[in-house]
């Protein structure tokens, strides 16, 4: 079954008063800021604060940056991909240079091979012309030999200029020297002479030297191909290292821009949550692109408007409580006078009517006080009058206030109170204890049991309140602390209350950085409150 709030208890003990102020908690006493000078109207205050904020707000770090979130997003994308684009450009230039170098090497190797083969062919033709000249003694044959000699010299010069291999140059020098000696001999000696015939026989060694040159050039080509393969492997390795080096850079830049992009969004989200939680005192400022900064300014304007609305609501509650105070006090005093038979004796039926009037006037006063406490808990979330509170003594005083009700219901009370001190607002802590005790007493059956324990765990004060009532259905536990919520138990035979008592207790507990929860129990309801301990006193005892 559902528990309602402590404010629902009809058995509230009050001391009869004699004046218009007696026995009544006013809004001015519970609401900070009451009695101050009249503030400007809501629209005027909002406009003044909004324009003042815009006129004195410091320049954002994004003052010289992008003007919109989309531009900042585009800039972040460009900066993140810039290292990768640089790597691609470097890779393309490197590959292009390698391709040109390979092309030039292949071209030079092909030219060198062609010149070497030409050199061999020219020597064969020179030998043929020289041998024919020795047999036929025809001057034209010697002229043909001389022309081929000249061509061979040019080919050798081109080959020496094209190839940088020292071994090739050495063979070329040997070939040119032997061929020059041969040419001198053939030119100076008559045909078929002994020296001329010996000179012709040197073509064999010249051809061997030319063949060696061809073989050297082919080996040189193989070396160039091997070198190009090594250069290609090195290029690939360099590109891989560049990719591995730039990938973390891009990731770091991406992380930086993620923080830059999400920071204003988180600020907007935090501001919206702040407004949703009713925290209107802290100004809202969003740093980022101009459009998000403007959104932050509008949210701050909304904060000011909501704060004005809260102030108007507080003033309204103050006014209503003041207007209700005098007639309600007069009604209570009149009912008490009738109950004391000051104006004459009463019949049994008349006493019952007076009792109903007294009971409901007390209930009405309690409902108004709950409304004022709820307004205080919602509007002023953090405690203001913080002192070191002896929680075990505070609970003892709260029990004294409910002593008559417990005696009337013949409740069996069991106490286990450790000496415990907490930092907080004593009045709010009293309201927490009073509402939980009132709730437990209200739903305990006649002659039931009530268990109240306070434990000092070393870091927290843990308060447990257990009753032997109908308990709380599991499906209603999540709604129990909602304002104005009434469960099934409230309709089953109890006088319907305000539905604010447990909601007020929760707000006060949260304001003290504590927790309040419903502990599953096989019988009755079990509420547990945990509050941080005070550092000034942490003794243990019973």
Cα–Cα distance between 317 and 323 in angstroms, integer?
A: 10
Query: What is the C-alpha end-to-end distance of the chain, expressed in Å?
Result: 33
465: which strand partners? 452, 527
| Residue 127 CB neighbour total at 10 angstroms | 20
- Distance between CA atoms of residues 65 and 54, nearest Å: 19
Ranges 174-178, 183-187, 421-425, 484-488, most confident: 421-425
Looking at residue 383, its pLDDT comes to 67
Give pTM, 2 decimals. Answer: 0.45
Residue 10 has pLDDT above 90, yes or no: no
Q: How far apart are CA 307 and CA 295, in angstroms?
A: 18
Q: Residue 68: pLDDT above 70?
A: yes
Most confident of 21-25, 142-146, 246-250, 415-419: 415-419
Name the token pair of 404. Answer: 């008559």
- Per-residue pLDDT for 491 more than 60? no
Question: What is the widest separation between alpha-carbon atoms in the chain?
Answer: 178
pLDDT value of residue 207: 81
Using the predicted structure, report yes or no on whether residue 365 has a pLDDT greater than 50.
yes
- What pLDDT does residue 498 have? 62
* pLDDT exceeds 90 at position 452: yes
Residue 33 pLDDT level (bands cut at 50, 70, 90): very low
Rounded Cα gap, residues 435 and 526, in angstroms: 14
Average pLDDT over residues 107-122: 83
Query: What per-residue confidence (pLDDT) applies to 304?
Result: 92
Q: Which helix (H) or strand (E) holds 331?
A: helix 290-339
Of 75-89, 160-174, 409-423, 474-488, highest mean pLDDT: 409-423
Task: Find the range with the poorest average confidence among 130-139, 156-165, 257-266, 317-326.
Answer: 317-326
- pLDDT value at residue 388: 92
When pLDDT is averaged across residues 364-369 and rounded to a whole number, the result is 76
Per-residue buried b or exposed e for 434-449, using 16+ beta carbons within 10 Å of the residue's own CB: bbbbbbbbbbbeeebe
* DSSP element (H, E) containing 466: strand 460-467
* Average pLDDT over all residues of the chain: 77
Check: CB of residue 22 under 8 Å from CB of residue 16. yes
The per-residue pLDDT for 302 is 93
The number of angstroms, rounded, from the C-alpha of 143 to the middle of its chain's C-alpha atoms is 94
Class of domain 103-236: mainly alpha
Query: For tokens 């050199």, what's the residue?
Result: 119
Mean pLDDT of 23-37: 40
Residues 382-542, CATH architecture: 2-Layer Sandwich (3.30)
What is d(CA 106, CA 119) in angstroms, rounded to the nearest whole number? 20
Instruction: Locate 448 and state its tokens.
Output: 């039931």
- pLDDT (tens digit per residue) in 197-230: 888 888 888 888 888 888 887 787 777 778 888 8
What is the reported pLDDT for 375?
67
pLDDT at 451: 92
């Amino acid at each position: 079954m559902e528990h309602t709030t402590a404010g629902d208890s009809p058995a509230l003990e009050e001391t009869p008063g004699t004046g218009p102020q007696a026995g009544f908690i006013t809004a001015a006493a519970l609401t900070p800021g009451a009695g101050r000078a009249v503030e400007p109207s809501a629209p005027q205050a909002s406009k003044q604060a909004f324009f003042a904020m815009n006129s004195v707000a410091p320049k954002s770090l994004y003052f010289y940056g992008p003007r919109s979130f989309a531009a900042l997003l585009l800039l972040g994308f460009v900066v993140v991909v810039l290292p990768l684009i640089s790597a691609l450009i470097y890779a393309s230039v490197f590959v292009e240079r390698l391709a040109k170098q390979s092309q030039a090497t292949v071209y030079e190797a092909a030219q060198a091979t062609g010149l070497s083969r030409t050199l061999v062919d020219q020597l064969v033709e020179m030998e043929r012309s020289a041998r024919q000249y020795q047999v036929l003694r025809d001057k034209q044959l010697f002229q043909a030999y001389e022309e081929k000699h000249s061509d061979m010299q040019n080919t050798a010069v081109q080959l020496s200029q094209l190839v940088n291999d020292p071994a090739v140059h050495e063979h070329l020098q040997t070939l040119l020297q032997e061929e020059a000696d041969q040419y001198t001999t053939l030119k100076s000696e008559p045909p078929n002479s002994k020296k001329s015939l010996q000179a012709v026989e040197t073509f064999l060694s010249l051809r061997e030297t030319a063949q060696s040159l061809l073989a050297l050039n082919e080996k040189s080509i193989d070396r160039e191909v091997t070198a190009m393969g090594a250069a290609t492997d090195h290029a690939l390795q360099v590109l891989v290292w560049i990719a591995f080096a730039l990938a973390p850079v891009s990731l770091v830049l991406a992380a930086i821009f993620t923080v830059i992009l999400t920071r204003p969004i988180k600020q907007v989200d935090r501001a919206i949550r702040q407004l949703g939680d009713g925290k209107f005192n802290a100004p809202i400022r969003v740093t980022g692109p101009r459009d998000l900064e403007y959104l932050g300014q509008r949210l701050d304007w909304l904060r000011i408007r909501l704060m004005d609305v809260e102030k108007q609501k507080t003033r309204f509650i103050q006014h209503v409580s003041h207007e209700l105070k005098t007639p309600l006090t007069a009604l209570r005093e009149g009912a008490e006078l009738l109950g004391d038979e000051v104006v004459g004796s009463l019949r049994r039926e008349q006493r019952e009517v007076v009792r109903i009037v007294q009971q409901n006037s007390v209930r009405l006063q309690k409902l108004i006080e709950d409304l004022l406490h709820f307004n205080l808990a919602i509007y002023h979330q953090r405690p203001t009058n913080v002192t070191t509170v002896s929680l075990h003594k505070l609970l003892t005083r709260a029990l004294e206030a409910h002593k008559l009700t417990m005696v009337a219901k013949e409740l069996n009370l069991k106490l286990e109170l450790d000496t415990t001190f907490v930092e907080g607002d004593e009045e709010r802590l009293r309201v927490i204890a009073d509402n939980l005790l009132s709730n437990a007493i209200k739903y305990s059956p006649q002659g039931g049991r009530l268990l109240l324990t306070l434990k000092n765990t070393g870091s927290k004060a843990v308060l447990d309140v257990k009753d032997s009532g109908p308990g709380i259905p599991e499906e209603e536990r999540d709604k129990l602390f909602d304002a104005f919520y009434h469960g099934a138990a409230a309709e089953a035979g109890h006088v319907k209350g305000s539905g604010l008592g447990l909601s007020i207790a929760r707000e006060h507990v949260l304001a003290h950085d504590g927790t309040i929860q419903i502990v599953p129990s096989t019988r009755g309801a079990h509420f547990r409150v945990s509050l941080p301990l005070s550092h000034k006193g942490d003794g243990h005892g019973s």
